[in-house]
């Protein structure tokens, strides 16, 4: 493999037909290039999905949706279900499929914007309750200060964590918000943290326009002690979110004496379903990428095989002379295989490098224009994929040369020397 004369001979052979060799190599180059680009975006999309969902990939949200439509156990229709602290405690005690459960409240109907004041500045923002450790469920990351902690909840402290958009509106003078007081509907809260949404695209702008309070503080300060507006819960180990959702609904129906067939009483959002849909999309993108790339590579392999057949035909006299001088069929076969490998490996490696370079260039451009947080803004090629691509190149190079090599090895020296 490291015989310089042999490599010089291969190079000279390929140089004789530069255009033909170049066009054939381009087929292999394009196949690997497309594989890298498509898999890069598909893999990057998958990584982004994982980072967005994080620990919230199987959370379930439940809320009272409509009044009862069926009479049940002596109670008439038209009743509205409420989620109470007793319901939450019953779920904790009786539902084995649930690991974590707690209630959550917002100010206003469905978190409608509330009037917030700081000094001479004011704005309207959603005000939500939350609990310690709920950053993944809220899809946010604290960038300054801290999030709500257990003492905030226990002591019902009047503290708040604000989004970056809230900071821009209320603190235009450049004052750092941490430690400053803001008024929410006339009630004063001390800012203890600033967060940035981890949601992608335009939805992050709205998510950053929220003020988060300890849920217990919100309930006491704004007279919401009678019920939770919604429940958040996650499944225990060994159970799916669908199992937990079914069991929780069944228990709440029993406790609130709702007819089992009254399906519109509670609304729900199952994050696991959305997560699985996105994972299926990632799998589809990656599968499609492999299909396109393999099809293109096969076309390239066929091209390499054809050109090697032509090479064998053109060098029949040379091959006959080599065999007459003592070259074995194995020597002749390896000569053809080496030439095929040079075309496929060099062209494929060039496609690999070009693909990675383009992905990095796209990433840099998206970051420079402020789109670095988009779903497809972080294309990524795993080292295992690169190694796999190189293995594919070597295998395809050998496969492309098998038929030409066999034909070359079977050349009759006497007949070949008489060939014109």
Domain-ending residue, one of 238, 264, 290: 264
More confident residue, 84 or 410: 84
φ/ψ of 88, rounded to 5, equals -60, -45
Same domain, 118 and 202: yes
Q: Is 59 part of any domain?
A: no
d(CA 388, CA 337) in angstroms, rounded, equals 20
Helix, strand or coil, per DSSP, at residue 145: strand
In this structure, is residue 58 part of a structural domain?
A: no
Mean pLDDT highest for which of 22-26, 74-78, 171-175? Answer: 171-175
3-class SS at 119? coil
pLDDT in tens, 45-84: 787 787 778 778 899 999 998 899 998 888 888 898 999 9
Query: 125: part of which helix (H) or strand (E)?
Result: strand 121-130
Whether residues 291 and 212 fall in one domain: no
Same domain, 178 and 252: no
Regarding whether 189 and 139 lie in a shared domain, the answer is yes
> 344 and 244, same structural domain?
no
On whether both 282 and 323 belong to a single domain, the answer is yes
Distance (Å, whole) CA 398 – CA 341 = 7
Q: How far apart are CA 19 and CA 16, in angstroms?
A: 9
Q: Are 18 and 133 in the same domain?
A: no
Residue with tokens 């019902």: 156
Q: Is the pTM higher than 0.85?
A: no
The answer on pLDDT for 38 being more than 50 is yes
70 and 117 in a single domain? The answer is no
In this structure, are 87 and 236 located in the same domain? yes
Is residue 293 domain-shared with residue 343, that is, in the same domain? yes
In DSSP notation, 161-174 reads EEEHHHHHHH-TT-
Supply the DSSP string of 231-248, one letter for each residue.
Answer: EEEEEPTT--HHHHHHHH
Predicted confidence (pLDDT) per residue in 119-139, tens digit: 999 999 999 999 999 998 888
Per-residue tokens: 370: 């402020």
CA angle at 323 for the pair 318 and 329, rounded to the nearest 5°: 110
Q: Is residue 336 part of a domain?
A: yes
Same domain, 342 and 202: no
Residue 117 phi/psi, 5-degree rounding, is -130, 140
Note down the domain range covering 14. Answer: 4-53+276-417
Q: What is the secondary structure of 42-101 as a DSSP string?
A: HHHHHHHHHHHHGGGTT-EEEEE-S---S-BTTBPS-----B-HHHHHHHHHH-TTEEEE
Q: How many domains, the chain?
A: 3
Is 15 inside a domain boundary? yes
**127 domain residue, yes or no:** yes
Domain annotation covers residue 391: yes
How far apart, in whole angstroms, are the C-alpha atoms of residue 319 and residue 415? 11
179 and 155 assigned to the same domain: yes
In a domain, 271, yes or no: no
Query: Please, which pLDDT band fits residue 20 given cuts at 50, 70 and 90?
Result: low
Phi, psi of 318 (to 5 degrees): -60, -45
Domain boundary pick from 232, 264, 296: 264
Q: Is the pLDDT of residue 37 over 80?
A: yes
Write down the H helix ranges in 271-328: 271-314, 316-324
């Amino acid at each position: 493999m490291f015989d310089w004369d042999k490599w010089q001979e291969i190079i000279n052979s390929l140089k004789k037909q530069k255009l033909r060799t170049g066009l054939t190599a381009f087929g292999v180059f394009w196949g690997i290039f497309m594989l890298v680009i498509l898999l890069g975006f598909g893999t990057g999309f998958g990584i982004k999905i994982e980072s967005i969902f994080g620990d919230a990939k199987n959370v379930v949200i439940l809320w009272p949706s409509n009044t009862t439509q069926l009479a049940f156990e002596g109670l008439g229709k038209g009743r509205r279900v409420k989620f109470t602290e007793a319901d939450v405690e019953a779920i904790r005690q009786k539902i084995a499929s649930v690991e974590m459960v707690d209630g959550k409240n917002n100010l206003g109907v469905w978190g409608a914007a509330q009037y917030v004041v700081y000094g001479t500045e004011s704005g309207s923002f959603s005000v939500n309750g939350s609990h310690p450790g709920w950053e993944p469920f809220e899809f946010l990351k604290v960038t300054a200060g801290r999030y709500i902690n257990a003492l905030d909840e226990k002591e019902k402290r009047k503290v708040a964590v604000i989004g970056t958009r809230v900071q821009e509106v209320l603190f235009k003078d450049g004052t750092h918000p941490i430690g400053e007081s803001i008024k929410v509907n006339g009630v004063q809260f001390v800012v203890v943290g600033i967060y940035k949404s981890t949601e992608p695209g335009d939805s992050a702008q709205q998510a950053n326009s929220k003020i988060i309070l300890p849920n217990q503080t919100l309930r006491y300060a704004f007279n919401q002690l009678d019920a939770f507006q919604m429940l958040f819960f996650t499944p225990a180990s060994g159970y799916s979110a669908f199992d937990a959702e079914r069991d929780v609904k069944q228990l709440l129906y029993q406790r609130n004496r709702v007819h089992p067939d009254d399906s519109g009483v509670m609304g729900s959002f199952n994050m696991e379903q959305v997560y699985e849909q996105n994972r299926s999309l990632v799998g589809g993108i990656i599968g499609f990428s492999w299909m396109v790339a393999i099809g293109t590579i096969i076309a390239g392999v066929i091209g390499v095989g054809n050109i090697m057949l032509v090479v064998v035909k053109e060098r029949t006299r040379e091959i006959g002379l080599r065999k007459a001088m003592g070259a074995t069929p194995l020597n002749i076969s390896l000569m053809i295989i080496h030439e095929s490998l040079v075309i496929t490996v060099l062209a494929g490696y060039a496609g690999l490098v070009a693909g990675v370079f383009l992905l990095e260039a796209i990433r840099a451009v998206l970051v420079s224009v402020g789109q670095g947080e988009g779903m497809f803004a972080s294309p990524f090629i795993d080292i295992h994929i690169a190694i796999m691509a190189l293995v594919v190149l070597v295998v395809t190079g050998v496969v492309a040369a098998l038929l030409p090599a066999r034909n070359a090895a079977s050349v009759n020296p006497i007949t070949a020397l008489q060939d014109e």
